[in-house]
Amino acid sequence: MTDTTLIKTRLAGGTWQGLLTARGRRTPPALDVRVDDRVVEGVELTAPEAGPGVDVANSWLVTVPIPAAAIADGVRVFVIQEQESGRLLNSFAIVAGEALQDRLIAEVELLRAELDMLKRAFRNHCATTSGQAGQAHDDRGPLEDPQDGPWRDEGWEEDPWQVDPGPEET
């Protein structure tokens, strides 16, 4: 398993840049950058310049061009994730137009973008595991029936999670 991080270095001239570090990898992971659930084209990964704290062998400079169409009134959230795992690496927002009363709108837009990412990952998971329908499993294999597990206490009532309504009022 690799430890992948993406740290923003700057945002200037219509370009977002960050330093991607993937320990244990000699080639960069494929990235998926989206805004308004559309793929951003032209993302580049290049070798960084050597410097203090930069592991040149396992690091890449990520350059994300900000499309002109993404700059409009309101908030646009860019989500950067690993293509293979779908893991969120970083995100940034562009706010334009009339002044916003507070950051709440930006936060809601970020949540919407992250929810879209989770929905895609869930749909992908469902599509890849559809042949195993009806069988619960995790990374170690099929899960046991909870009734057969070592945590079963014979002294419990039929439904141990039922809420006690409390004493009856007369």
Model pLDDT for residues 13-44, shown as the tens digit of each residue = 999 999 999 888 888 899 999 998 899 999 99
Q: What is the pLDDT of residue 24?
A: 82
The Cα 6–Cα 148 span in angstroms is: 44
The Cα 155–Cα 59 span in angstroms is: 57
Q: Which pTM value belongs to this model?
A: 0.59
Burial class (CB in 10 A: 0-12, 13-18, 19+), 125: exposed
Model pLDDT for residues 91-120, shown as the tens digit of each residue = 999 988 766 656 677 788 888 989 998 998
Domain limits of the chain?
A: 3-118
Question: In this structure, are residues 75 and 94 in contact, taking their beta carbons and an 8 Å threshold?
Answer: yes
The CATH class given to the 3-118 domain equals mainly beta
Please give the backbone phi and psi of residue 44, each rounded to the nearest 5 degrees, phi first. Answer: -120, 145
pLDDT > 70 in the chain, percent: 71
Question: In this structure, are residues 41 and 68 in contact, taking their beta carbons and an 8 Å threshold?
Answer: no
